[in-house]
Amino acid sequence: MTNRVTMNKKTTYFLAITGLLLLLIAAVLFSLSVGEMHIGLGDALRLLAGGGNSDSLEYMLVTQVRLPRIMLGMAVGGALSLAGAMLQGVYRNPLVEPFTLGISGGASLGVAAVIVLGWQASLGGLLLPLAGFAGALAVLALVWFFGTRKRQVNIQHILLVGVMVSFICSSGMMFLMSIASSESLHGIVFWTMGSLDEPNTALVWITVGATIAVLALSLLFVNPLNALRLGEERALHLGVNTQLAVKLLFVLASVLTGLCVAVAGVIGFVGLIVPHLVRLMFGNDYRILLAGSFLLGASFLLLSDVAARSIIAPNELPIGVITGLVGGVVFIFLMSRKIAR
């Protein structure tokens, strides 16, 4: 009987991951061919394989614009969803998301300061993501310092400190925006709405590599996260070092969020809504939840990016507008279903 249950779980896991992987592949192929200039899927694949004229507009568009954008979209969408799943497991609170702890506020404050001071033009395009990542790390250090006592992690204390730091960063943002020039203000607003239009391909591949590395590391915490669903005390009885697990998961999720915000700006609701959808479809087992959240988050952000590029083409909507609208509607729908039950 036990072997049959184990086989059923393995089959469910395999089918779930396979289905989400196929969805991601479909989203990638769709993103390659759809845009202001429509390119047939066969032509896009042929161009990626090295066929066609390497000096043509279509080749440049597919290989140097759409492909890096797709890679960044998969990395950021998967990373934010993975971070959301990890933090919700640590806090045992489905309303926690990567931006709850003030990480996005710190990154936004760092970027806004650079824009207002005019350093971006003189020091190069890499300064914005570096400033955003530095701001995120500063908030992480601040939350960690005030949220821990005697080397013991109090997750609820960290959550409260993170929310307060987020409010402080928001106030700092409003101050900078109030003294910024109209040009600087436009840059700040556009950045805070999120975009996958990152011209530095090296930064894109760094984000992809870091995201895959954190995904692999997170899978080592499947058993601790499943045990934490029962509460810290019961997890301790099951032999889980809860303090170490919580510390490492918190740092991994926060650094991953900081990197995503630094590269792509503030893209809300992905880390909140995607883990909910995976739980609704496949249950609470973190053997499915972590990898499933990553794959579904990558697909969701890619499709949102296609919508952002297509709705008012040739202009482009900030991707945060699409994720906020879709995520908000889906979240309200899910909550209304729970209340109805």
Q: Which residue ranges make up each domain of the chain?
A: 1-62, 70-340
3 state SS for 271-284:
HHHHHHHHHHHHCC
> Would you call 58 exposed, middle or buried from its count of C-beta atoms within 10 A (0-12, 13-18, 19+)?
middle
Query: So what's the pLDDT on residue 150?
Result: 64
For residues 105 and 169, the answer to whether their CB atoms sit within 8 Å is yes
Q: What is the pLDDT along the chain (341 residues), one digit of tens a residue?
A: 555 555 567 787 888 889 999 999 999 988 888 877 777 777 777 777 776 666 677 777 777 888 889 999 999 999 999 999 998 888 887 778 887 878 888 888 888 888 888 776 665 567 778 888 888 888 888 888 877 766 666 777 788 888 888 888 889 888 888 888 887 887 788 777 788 887 788 888 889 999 999 999 999 988 888 888 877 777 777 777 777 888 888 888 888 888 888 888 888 888 888 998 898 888 888 889 999 999 999 999 999 998 888 887 777 788 888 888 887 887 787 777 665 55
- Please name the fold of domain 70-340: ABC transporter involved in vitamin B12 uptake, BtuC (1.10.3470)
Query: So what's the pLDDT on residue 73?
Result: 92
Pairing of strands 148-149, 152-153: antiparallel
**180, containing H or E segment:** none
> Which residue blocks in the chain are alpha helix, DSSP H?
2-33, 41-48, 57-60, 67-91, 103-117, 119-123, 127-147, 155-179, 182-192, 201-218, 222-228, 232-237, 242-264, 270-282, 286-310, 319-340
* Strand-pair partners of 152: 149
Tokens of 223: 């058993």
Residue 104: name the closest of 126, 80, 136 by CA: 136
Buried b (16+ CB within 10 A) or exposed e, 34-49: bbeeebeeebbebbee
* Strand-pair partners of 153: 148
Residue 177: Cβ within 10 Å count: 16
Q: Which residues contact 315 (CB under 8 A, 6 or more apart)?
A: none
* 103, 108, 109, 111: CA torsion to nearest 10: 130
Q: Which residues contact 29 (CB under 8 A, 6 or more apart)?
A: 41, 44
Q: Which residues contact 229 (CB under 8 A, 6 or more apart)?
A: 89, 92, 284
Query: So what's the pLDDT on residue 151?
Result: 66
DSSP-assigned letter for residue 61 = I
Report residue 226 CA to chain centroid gap.
Answer: 22
